[in-house]
Amino acid sequence: MTKILIDCDPGHDDAVALLFAARHLELVGITTVHGNSTLDNTTRNALALLELAGLETAVARGCAGPLVGSATHAAHIHGSSGLDGATLPPPTRQPVAAHAVDFIIDQAERHRGELVLAVIGPQTNLAMALRREPRLAGWLREITVMGGSTTTGNVTPAAEFNIYGDPEAAAAVFASGIPIRMVGLNVTRRTGFAAADVARLRGSGRRVAAVIADLLAFYLERQREAFRLDLAPMHDVCAIIPYVFPELIRYGETFVQIELAGAATRGMTVCDLRSLHPGTTLPARLAKTCNAHVALEADSRLLIDRVIETILTYP
């Protein structure tokens, strides 16, 4: 069973990703970061979700802001708490004493060569960990990232929220040499819960599913208002599901770099998809060493069905 540590900013889609991972993988811990809401909120939300589901997993608080500039939050999507739409049980546990940066380093050293680090929020904690302990790059099996896009963004025309939240951190991660899987908006914005899926959860008679249904109903309505979408995108679970159902997402190996200087493109994931075109040979001066497997297509309907089936295994 894959060992996984999830670095996140819960977040409605983070909540679903955590529940999915806890059922199918060996979840060695959760680290929290700024992003969808403040660090206080994302940490409380992670603890409350574990309380709701009856899960025992260590949670470590991380960085409250990006490497450069101030934090960007998404209350217009996730509400003032970062997880509006339902009343979650108050946490009975506290985060561990270790900072998320140290927790990531410690877990990677403990599980050398085995640990997958899922980064489904801004990548500040991981960038700081790499800065503090350069050997970390050789200890992780792989990083799976929810972030970026091969096409357009959602914060700006070019940039997706998680990468935009800390472009300098993302640049450091993608330059680290660690094997990376990246799933971005080109796949995740088309993979989500429709109203009928929310109704299926609500009608199940299960306590956890009913709470998740309320959360996703709120999230779906915010997606309609903000983006005119008729589904609630499950961005983050798309970074987890390949370790359980690898056939549901197709990846291509390519070179990704993070734009830091562009006035209109800061935070863009520049994916050199030319390497994926059959028969294309790039001049040597343009050829880059591929640094990521980037998601290109998903079996979105089957993926969501698998997620629903998982949520329905909770009480």
Catalytic residues: 9
Q: How far apart are CA 2 and CA 308, in angstroms?
A: 21
- Closest to 271 measured CA to CA, from 182, 205, 166: 182
Q: How far apart are CA 145 and CA 259, in angstroms?
A: 17
**CB-CB contact of 6 with 18 (8 Å):** yes
DSSP calls for 255-301: -EEE--S-TTTTT-EEE-GGGGSTT----TTT-----EEEEEEE-HH
Both structure tokens of 167: 């472009």
Phi, psi angle pair for 268, to nearest 5°: -70, 140
Q: Can you tell me whether residue 159 is helix, strand or coil?
A: coil
**CB-CB contact of 173 with 127 (8 Å):** yes
Q: How far apart are CA 49 and CA 51, in angstroms?
A: 5
Consecutive H or E run containing 208: helix 207-227
Both structure tokens of 93: 């546990």
CA angle (239 as vertex; 59, 50 as ends), nearest 5: 30
Q: Which amino acid is located at 130 in the chain?
A: L
